[in-house]
A and B are shown apart, each in its own frame.
Chain A
Amino acid sequence: MSFADIKEKLTAKFEKLNLEYSSFRDNDRVIVPPSDLFEILSFLKTTFCFDMLIDLSAADYLHLQGATHRYGVWYALLNVENGERLIVKTHLDDPDPRLPSMYDLWKGADWMEREVYDMYGIEFDGHPDLRRILLPDEFVAFPLRKDYPLRGMGERHNFQSVIRSEA
């Protein structure tokens, strides 16, 4: 099943959506609207047997020249039988960025979605356990957003020190 086939079938199935396709080096990409993401991904999973979710992550396009949306989330899929890969990408915007959770399709999405939530604050509807994963629960910022400074807001030194004579 080549990229051309996938393109053809996807376009036939989702005529109304005008999906965008692009290829760069060996990466084949489909850019889809977030509202139909779940349908498209489950169609890809059942029809083309993309049974492994290799990667799921996001980027913040705040300072990127020419970007039209704030966040992009990508799903890198792999067909384990024949090793074919496809990247599905979707774009989101700021107030209340949210996406459907892919936990029902791929269990592997569990932690990856939690990480995206932790780093970018994108919420996933239907995720069974959406908490912060890497940062402490009490942390308030989303550190990989572009408006968060590299050295943080001073959180890293917000602890008491232990003096030698005390302990």
Chain B
Amino acid sequence: MPLNLADAIPETSSPEREFLWTLNFGPQHPATHTTLRLILTLDGEVVVHAIPDIGFLHSGFEKLGEHLDFNQYVTIVDRMNYISPVSNEISWHHAVEKLLDIDLTPRCKYIRTIFAELMRIHDHLVCCGAAALDLGAFTAFLYAFNLREKINDISEVASGQRFHPSYTRVGGLLCDVDDVWITKVRAFIKLFYAAYADLMKLLQRNRIFVDRTRGVGVLTKEEAINRSATGPIARASGVTRDLRKDQPYLAYKDFDFKVVCSTEGDCYARFLVRMEEMVQSIKIITQAIENIPSGPINIDVNSKFVVPNQMSVYRSIEGLIQHFELHMTNRQWETPKEEIYAATESPNGELGFYIVSDGSGVAYRARTRPPSFVHFSLFPHLIVGHQISDIPAVLGSINIIAAELDR
């Protein structure tokens, strides 16, 4: 059993393997976007063996989850996949709400759905833009980031923070959205198609981009299943699983959308799947924004799960008591002493939370099932046999987010 990294690197000094050489890639390298390290064994320019070394951003998210209560932990979860923050919040509170058996109000469901889809677009824009940047297409990156700013504006209007909104709460949302928000989303929908067309025009038939991504990093369907790939990566390889259809959570039942799949399984297919998913997401948003039901965003305060709003804390004794109950560290939520696994379809794949509850309002164990972590374990398998210049293409196409990778 190799105990440290040095033991895992293949030997290159023996005479029959002396044509191989070892290259260290990262941890601070532009193509890795954030922080990961690869130790490559090369034959000329061809990768024959790759050892990923991760953990350069391991910051103890799961340990923090055992010390913060259900509403506090949302700020931490936010920072996990930082290019689709609200998706993580939704996923976390989805698990908590399943544990507490809460059924959300229709308005809350719709707003959360819109946010989840906006975040999907956000993620795919950053992913495709940055992947293009690594392959030399700087303009596409600027177009993608320009559109992304609009999504940040939307979350800023809703919650006050443009990047890490911490917008969901147990049983509801931080605050209601207003007309400005709805106008902004509508404007975004209008803007999206034009910007999307630009982005598509820049990349889809761009000779260099296509040459560098087509046929690179092929993942077959069997491999994808055996190696636990989910989300756009699995769908690009022909695994037609999408939690939004399989176990419709939030309001996905009400909308008409399609699951985007491909069969090629290469980097180009993954790019196309992402681009098409954005169109499906905007379709969902278009349907949702015009049909947001009225009513409260939080479930009934008497259920003892939601933090009452300021008005009822100041003006009614029930609200005051409820507020006190949820904020005293020795009271908080009463949870069943159980364990639950619940997952949602985050932009990157299946993002699940496994909560072990000891009856209090703080999770005894908050395990995250991070899609990036699982997908990065595919990487050594995908890159072997390709050239060293294909590394940015493959890394960009599997969309590794270091904070989610290392937690």
Q: Which residues on A are within 8 Å of B, measured CB to CB?
A: 24-27, 29, 51-55, 57, 59-60, 63-66, 74, 76, 78, 80, 83, 87, 106-108, 110-112, 115, 119, 127, 129-138, 143-144, 150
Contacts and interface: CB of A to CB of B under 8 A. Distances in A.
A137 B5 contact: yes
A76 B369 CA distance: 10
Interface in B219-246: 223, 225-230, 239, 241, 246
A87 B341 contact: yes
Interface in B372-390: 373-374, 376-377
A27 B225 CA distance: 21
Contacts of B190: none
Contact of B239 (A64, A80, A87, A138): A80
B72 to A, nearest CB: 14
B64 interface: yes
Contacts of B374: 108, 111-112
A133 B407 CA distance: 12
Contact of B63 (A52, A107, A144): A144
Contact of A135 (B58, B338, B373): B58
B2 A129 contact: yes
A134 B54 contact: yes
Interface in B198-229: 223, 225-229
A136 B226 contact: no
B227 A25 contact: no
A37 to B, nearest CB: 18
A108 B63 contact: no
B8 A108 contact: no
Contacts of A137: 3-5
B318 interface: no
The interface residues of chain B, by DSSP majority, are classed as mixed
Interface in B1-43: 1-5, 7-8
B63 A111 contact: no
Q: Among A52, A64, A65, A87, which residue has the most Cβ atoms of chain B within 10 A?
A: A52
Nearest to B359: A65
Q: How large is the interface on B (under 10, 10 to 19, 20 to 34, 35 or more residues)?
A: 35 or more
A65 B364 CA distance: 11
Nearest to B343: A54
Contacts of A51: 225-226
Given A108-B227, A131-B8, A55 B2 contact: no
Nearest to A148: B63
A84 B347 CA distance: 22
A129 B380 CA distance: 14
B149 interface: no
A75 B377 CA distance: 18
Contact of A108 (B64, B226, B358): B226
Contact of A59 (B58, B229, B364): B364
B367 A24 contact: no
Contacts of B150: none
B225 A80 contact: yes
Contacts of B354: 55, 57, 74, 76
Contacts of B239: 80
A131 B8 CA distance: 9
Given A108-B227, A108-B374, A111-B377, A131 B2 contact: yes
A23 B5 CA distance: 41
A78 B354 CA distance: 15
A66 B357 CA distance: 12
B258 interface: no
A150 B63 contact: yes
Given A52-B228, A130-B2, 18 more contacts: A27-B339, A55-B367, A57-B367, A59-B367, A65-B358, A78-B241, A83-B241, A108-B227, A129-B2, A131-B2, A131-B3, A134-B54, A135-B58, A143-B60, A143-B63, A144-B62, A150-B66, A150-B67
B123 interface: no
A37 B390 CA distance: 40
Given A80-B239, A134-B54, A150-B63, A24 B373 contact: no
Nearest to B376: A111
A73 B64 CA distance: 20
A27 B358 CA distance: 18
B365 to A, nearest CB: 4
B341 A76 contact: yes
